[in-house]
């Protein structure tokens, strides 16, 4: 029997507590053995619930009894602690975005490869089988020739003290929710995407973007219209428009583990709905990380995941470079 990968938690973010850690605990090849947080008492409280040891970040990296780390710190701290973990010989499972700079993302991917370690960005939605089924339908010609792609991910305003409003910690809507439409375009349209235009809505008081719209063009000339933000009613969906039919998927990025996805295909005089089995994308992502780190996974999968991570990071920088900025009242900055 393959032993379990011993995992240390660096950070106890909301997403870690609510979704990722519960999913990790269902994966037999992963064992959470230590937990660290900025506040040691908070680490002790969470560790107690997991029957794990409370440690500092540095103690986790120094421990010979820990094989890998899960990093769920504010975005702006991901690069530092993922890099330190790789240098300490630990495999790294890091919340998205892996870093807030494309050069840092490229650096970490190269460092992991150089040291023979597994590095996965926890972009959990790409692991849900619903997207593989969508690709099968597109590749099989069910929609005809693909003409366009649209995706949106928006959430209501966050509490004022939320770390995602902190510019100094890598906050902003683009790197938090905007990367989902970007990554979905990469997933379904392939690499080589070009940013043709963009707008970003800026909260000038906080110095972060709170919404945006991006136009991409694929290698084959398919356009992608992407919307995202922190000041919207909830939306999580994408739509592919072909020459003979269109396909739409709701809750595309954040389906609960019990949700049965429905692919809706619309033609001129016909509507078809394809129901798919539920899946826990958090557990699948964690399991694939464990398999890769333990040497039982497919190396090609890790290579593709890292290529997509790097491509998305460079798309983010292209958006930041090209975007027209407007303030929340609608005026250009």
276 and 157 part of one domain: yes
| Residue that is last in its domain, among 67, 93, 122 | 122
The pLDDT value given to residue 2: 63
| Residue that is last in its domain, among 97, 122, 147 | 122
Q: What is the CA radius of gyration of the chain?
A: 20
User: Is residue 34 a part of any domain in this protein?
Assistant: yes
CA distances (Å), origin 309, targets 11, 147, 161: 21, 25, 28
User: Distance between CA atoms of 325 and 333, rounded to whole angstroms?
Assistant: 6
**CATH number of 46's domain:** 3.40.50.720
172 and 73 part of one domain: no
User: Is residue 309 a part of any domain in this protein?
Assistant: no
82 and 186 part of one domain: no
Q: Over range 121-131, report the average pLDDT.
A: 97
Q: Is the pLDDT assigned to residue 308 strictly greater than 80?
A: yes
User: Is residue 135 a part of any domain in this protein?
Assistant: yes
32 and 136 part of one domain: no
User: Distance between CA atoms of 228 and 319, rounded to whole angstroms?
Assistant: 13
62 and 134 part of one domain: no
DSSP class per residue in 96-140: SSS-SSHHHHHHHHHHHHHHT--EEEE-GGGGSHHHHHHHHHHHT
The pLDDT value given to residue 34: 96
What positions carry a catalytic annotation? Answer: 96
Band the pLDDT of 42: cuts 50, 70, 90. Answer: confident
User: Is residue 40 a part of any domain in this protein?
Assistant: yes
* pTM metric for this prediction: 0.95
Q: Is the pLDDT assigned to residue 136 strictly greater than 90?
A: yes
17 and 110 part of one domain: yes
Nearest Cα neighbor of 95 from 75, 115, 81, 113 is 75
89 and 204 part of one domain: no
Interhelix angle 281-294/299-322, rounded to 10 degrees, is 120
55 and 89 part of one domain: yes
186 and 99 part of one domain: no
Per residue in 105-120, pLDDT (tens digit) is 999 999 999 999 999 9
200 and 272 part of one domain: yes
What is the total count of domains within the chain?
2
Percent with pLDDT over 70 in the chain: 99
Mean pLDDT of the chain: 96
User: Is residue 250 a part of any domain in this protein?
Assistant: yes
- Which structural domain range is residue 165 located in? 129-282+314-327
Q: Is the pLDDT assigned to residue 156 strictly greater than 80?
A: yes
| Residue that is last in its domain, among 103, 122, 141 | 122
The pLDDT value given to residue 140: 97
User: Is residue 18 a part of any domain in this protein?
Assistant: yes
Interhelix angle 102-115/78-87, rounded to 10 degrees, is 10
Q: Over range 57-74, report the average pLDDT.
A: 97
User: Distance between CA atoms of 106 and 115, rounded to whole angstroms?
Assistant: 14
CB 241 within 8 A of CB 148: yes
User: Is residue 289 a part of any domain in this protein?
Assistant: no
100 and 164 part of one domain: no
Band the pLDDT of 1: cuts 50, 70, 90. Answer: very low
113 and 158 part of one domain: no
**CATH number of 268's domain:** 3.30.360.10
What are the start-end ranges of the H helices in the chain? 14-15, 21-24, 40-50, 57-62, 78-87, 102-115, 129-139, 173, 179-189, 281-294, 299-322
User: Is residue 193 a part of any domain in this protein?
Assistant: yes
Of 61-65, 159-163, 262-266, 283-287, the least confident: 159-163
Q: Is the pLDDT assigned to residue 216 strictly greater than 80?
A: yes
Contacts of 133 (CB under 8 A, 6+ apart): 263, 274, 276
């Amino acid at each position: 029997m393959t032993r379990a990968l011993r995992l240390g938690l660096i950070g106890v973010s909301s997403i870690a507590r609510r979704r990722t850690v519960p999913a990790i605990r269902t994966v037999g090849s992963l064992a959470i053995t230590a937990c660290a947080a900025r506040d040691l008492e908070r680490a002790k409280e969470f560790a107690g619930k997991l029957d794990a040891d409370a440690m500092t970040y540095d103690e986790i990296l120094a421990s010979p009894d820990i094989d890998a780390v899960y990093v769920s710190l504010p975005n702006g701290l991901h690069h530092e602690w993922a890099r330190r973990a790789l240098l300490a010989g630990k495999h790294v499972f890091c919340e998205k975005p892996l870093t807030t700079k494309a050069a840092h993302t490229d650096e970490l991917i190269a460092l992991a490869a150089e040291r023979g370690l597994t590095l996965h960005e926890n972009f959990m939605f790409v692991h849900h089988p619903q997207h593989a089924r969508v690709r099968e339908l597109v590749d099989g010609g069910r929609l005809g020739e693909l003409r366009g792609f649209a995706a949106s991910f928006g959430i209501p305003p966050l509490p004022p003290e939320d770390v995602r409003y902190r510019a100094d910690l890598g906050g902003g809507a683009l790197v938090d929710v905007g990367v989902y439409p970007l990554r979905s375009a990469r997933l379904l349209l392939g690499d080589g995407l070009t940013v043709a235009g963009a707008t970003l809505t800026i909260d000038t008081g906080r110095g972060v973007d709170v919404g945006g719209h991006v136009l991409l063009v694929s290698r084959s000339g398919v356009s992608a219209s992407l919307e995202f933000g922190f000041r919207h009613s909830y939306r999580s969906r994408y739509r592919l428009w072909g020459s003979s039919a269109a396909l739409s998927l709701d809750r595309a990025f954040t389906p609960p583990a019990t949700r049965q996805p429905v692919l809706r295909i619309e033609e001129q005089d016909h509507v078809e709905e394809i129901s798919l089995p539920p899946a826990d994308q958090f557990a699948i992502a964690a399991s694939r990380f464990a398999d890769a780190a333990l040497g039982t996974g497919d190396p090609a999968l890790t290579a593709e995941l890292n290529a997509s991570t790097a491509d998305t990071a460079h798309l983010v920088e292209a958006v930041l470079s090209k975007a027209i900025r407007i303030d929340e009242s609608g005026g250009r900055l």
